[in-house]
Amino acid sequence: MFLVIKEGQGIAKCFNELGVSAFVLYYLMANGHTTIPLTDAQNALKIIHNRAKEWNINENKIGIMGFSAGGHLASTIGTHFKTITVRPAFILLGYPVITMKKGLTHGGSLKIY
């Protein structure tokens, strides 16, 4: 399993400074087990929904943003939900990995760790 930390902290800090509540999800990439990051993201959204009143967050304005592989995860969570507590109100994608076809995706995205 490995963890890649890139853009999240800077973007979250900028949003927080603007008065927008932003969180950084550290999710697991576990040797090709694609359901693990999806479950991590779904659990994070559930926690935010469940604690929204405590944190003064409008439950109708909870979204997800991701870059690269995180963009792929954000798009997946926005289209593969089963309950309202894991359905984002909006999705922001920064250079998302949207295909795994050789020649069309970043080479590192094809690696299975």
Count of structural domains, the chain: 1
Whether 1 is in a domain gets the answer: no
Whether 105 is in a domain gets the answer: yes
pTM to 2 decimal places:
0.79
The Cβ of residue 60 has, within 10 Å, a number of other Cβ atoms equal to 8
Instruction: Tell me what the mean pLDDT of segment 52-74 comes to.
Output: 91
Is pLDDT larger for residue 105 or for residue 52?
Answer: 52
Query: Is the pLDDT confidence value at 110 over 60?
Result: no
Is pLDDT larger for residue 69 or for residue 79?
Answer: 79
pLDDT at residue 9, as a whole number: 86
Residues in contact with 87: Cβ distance below 8 Å, sequence separation at least 6, in sequence order: 45, 78, 81
CATH of the domain at 27: 3.40.50.1820
Share of the chain above pLDDT 90, in %: 31
Which pLDDT band, with edges at 50, 70 and 90, does 92 fall under?
very high
The parent domain of residue 16 ranges over 8-110
Instruction: Tell me what the mean pLDDT of segment 67-76 comes to.
Output: 87
**Is the CB of residue 80 less than 8 Å from the CB of residue 39?**
no
Instruction: Tell me what the mean pLDDT of segment 25-40 comes to.
Output: 79
**Is the CB of residue 96 less than 8 Å from the CB of residue 79?**
no
Instruction: Tell me what the mean pLDDT of segment 40-53 comes to.
Output: 93
How many helices (DSSP H) and strands (DSSP E) are in the chain?
3, 2
**Structure token digits, residue 96:** 């998302």
> What whole-number distance in Å separates Cα of residue 111 and Cα of residue 77?
22
